[in-house]
Amino acid sequence: MSDIQQFIEGRLPIIWESVVQTFQMVSVSLLFSVLLGLPLGVLLILTRPGNALENRGVYQVLNVVVNIIRSIPFIILLFFILPFTKLLVGTSIGIKGAIVPLIVHAVPNIARLMESALLEVDSGVVEAYRSMGIRTRHIIWHVLLREARPSIILGLTIALITLIGGTAMAGLVGAGGLGDLAYRFGHLRYEVDVMYVTVFILILLVQCIQTIGNKLAAKYKKG
């Protein structure tokens, strides 16, 4: 009993702090990467050959850039873009310093997930809307994004879970978070109980996110 009490008193505040850090990193970077990644995915679709804004040059450039960033492992990207991070947020360490590489890592990922989600939309419906004299921007919003909602949500679920994985490595730039906690206590200090609790929290978190994602996607899927 006293062991548990001791653990709760001694370690719970640290664990809680890590949870908060993880949430901060994940929420801010998710917000920004969706804001950048979703339009990028739409642009990838629209500039594809045979689509509304067909433009081989733009499509190829976007395609290559997305591929390049996606081929760099996060841990390398983290250090690779340190100068860029510093330039952007004034520091390359702590939560702020971790969020920039997290976003850079997540944006092309989300762009691809959005691209494949939008590709699933029946191009015939787009044609039908074109035939009715509907403006392209309305077609993007009311047809493409609307019809792709279930796939977009599932894609974002994947992106979110990947992002949580990314935060584990953010400890390397002193950003803290659950992954960092498990590493420091479990690996460096051999306090396995802290590691177990963090891993358990992470599992719970991922489970919840996936379940919510699936439910939301099903809700929008309809008939």
Among positive and negative, which fits the CA dihedral 182, 183, 186, 189?
A: negative
Q: How far apart are the C-alpha atoms of 192 and 218, rounded to whole Å?
A: 39
DSSP string for 82-124: HHHHHHHHS-SSHHHHHHHHHHHHHHHHHHHHHHHHHHTS-HH
- Residue 1 or 132: the one with the smaller Cβ distance to another protein is 132
**Near another protein by CB under 8 A, which window of 30-38, 102-110, 138-146, 168-176?**
138-146
**Which one among 143, 152, 156, 169 touches another protein, defined by CB under 8 A?**
143
Other CB atoms closer than 10 Å to residue 53's CB: what's the count?
A: 13
Q: Which residue has the tokens 């762009």?
A: 111
Q: Which residue has the tokens 């919003």?
A: 141
- Determine, following the binding rule CB under 8 A, whether residue 138 of this chain makes contact with another protein: yes
- Residue 50 or 83: the one with the smaller Cβ distance to another protein is 50
- Determine, following the binding rule CB under 8 A, whether residue 122 of this chain makes contact with another protein: yes
- Residue 119 or 125: the one with the smaller Cβ distance to another protein is 125
**Near another protein by CB under 8 A, which window of 20-28, 90-98, 143-151, 159-167?**
143-151
Q: Which two tokens stand for residue 76?
A: 């390398």
- Determine, following the binding rule CB under 8 A, whether residue 54 of this chain makes contact with another protein: no
Q: How far apart are the C-alpha atoms of 52 and 45, rounded to whole Å?
A: 9
**Near another protein by CB under 8 A, which window of 131-139, 172-180, 197-205, 209-217?**
131-139
Q: Which residues bind another protein (CB under 8 A)?
A: 122, 124-125, 127-135, 138, 142-143, 146-147, 149-150, 220-223
